[in-house]
Structure 1
């Protein structure tokens, strides 16, 4: 299987984003988005997905974090799409349940070629520190739209908003790791009866 790496830059009047990804990494990460909670969540994806990930962002944080968080999701989705190539030989599907104390979340991933997000999360409060929890949906919506993948995210229980968010990102990393993993029984074949994803 060829190297599954990508480097994407996105430059708008609102944000300047750089993302580098290696799907066959060890979980090495380097983040500087200007949004510390987002950096913390991206670190969960990298470490639990064993994906090497670098994300640098400069955004209009004097307004709020919305554009930065959404555009990081978009750019990460573009990088993921590029790194996956034609998806031959991958498992395609991945799932994970992750607990953190009282919180439990489930994430299911399909490298379908079709963007779709089912996001069933109700946070116990609107802010984690100063971070608006509504932006987490925006992050995942941008990611699935541009990675062209289907992701189902369900928080099954949780009383602490930080724990809820962290279980989601850890579970996403682990589900993504499973989905992108090479399948030794399907080497070189397309995981679809249609012949393409």
Structure 2
């Protein structure tokens, strides 16, 4: 079973989170940030990774700590669920269209975390959600999941569509990369014989 549960508690946030990499995309999300919940629901649905995420945070200050810390905890859970990464497909890339927007996502479950995020938003907010927090989530997730992750929005004019294309693109790339490759089941997908450094 490729599952993991994470509890993260700081003075700023309290998070309980569980994932199943071999799920069906079921999501039970409650962070107190409506737009973020919507993005996480999309992430679960399109990756087919079951996710339960419950977060409380200092929303009276802003959404930053909650969004970043959920990214950190979700990354830790995915990395833990992957185990020694034996048999995974490892690489994935795609172009994700969302109406007028097109975003390219490429990732490598390398164990060597790195984020390239080339996405600009035409508005500072989507409702009450600061669009700069999209990058903060991706940063926390990529570093803690051990992903080399490239996200680039090639074009788009609607901030909601741009954010959605990034999350859906990540979801579909994750779905492909964490999948077990039947031709390489039981093998570590690296000439080094291990992933992670």
Q: Bin the TM-score by the shorter chain.
A: over 0.9
Q: Residue deviations 1:1-58, cap 9 Å, x none? A: xx10000000000000011000000010000000111111111111110110011000
In structure 2, runs of 5+ residues without a counterpart are none
Decide which of 20, 25, 28 is 2:26's aligned counterpart.
28
Number of aligned residue pairs? 195
Q: CA deviation at 1:106?
A: 1.1
Distance (Å, rounded) in 2 between the aligned partners of 1:98 and 1:148 = 22
The answer for the alignment partner of 2:191 in structure 1 is: 193
1:85 pairs with 2:90: no
Equivalences for residues 16-95 of structure 1 within 5 A = 16-95=14-93
**Is the contact made by 1:127 and 1:133 (CA closer than 8 Å) also made in structure 2?**
yes
Distance (Å, rounded) in 2 between the aligned partners of 1:96 and 1:126 = 27
In structure 1, runs of 5+ residues without a counterpart are none
Distance (Å, rounded) in 2 between the aligned partners of 1:96 and 1:57 = 30
Q: CA deviation at 1:96?
A: 2.1
Backbone CA RMSD of aligned residues: 0.6
**Is the contact made by 1:81 and 1:147 (CA closer than 8 Å) also made in structure 2?**
yes
Distance (Å, rounded) in 2 between the aligned partners of 1:42 and 1:150 = 20
Distance (Å, rounded) in 1 between the aligned partners of 2:2 and 2:34 = 28
Q: CA deviation at 1:153?
A: 0.3
Distance (Å, rounded) in 2 between the aligned partners of 1:101 and 1:76 = 28
Q: Secondary structure at the match of 1:21?
A: strand
**Is the contact made by 1:96 and 1:172 (CA closer than 8 Å) also made in structure 2?**
no
Return the TM-score normalized by structure 2: 0.98
1:135 pairs with 2:155: no
Q: Secondary structure at the match of 1:87?
A: coil
Decide which of 136, 151, 155 is 1:157's aligned counterpart.
155
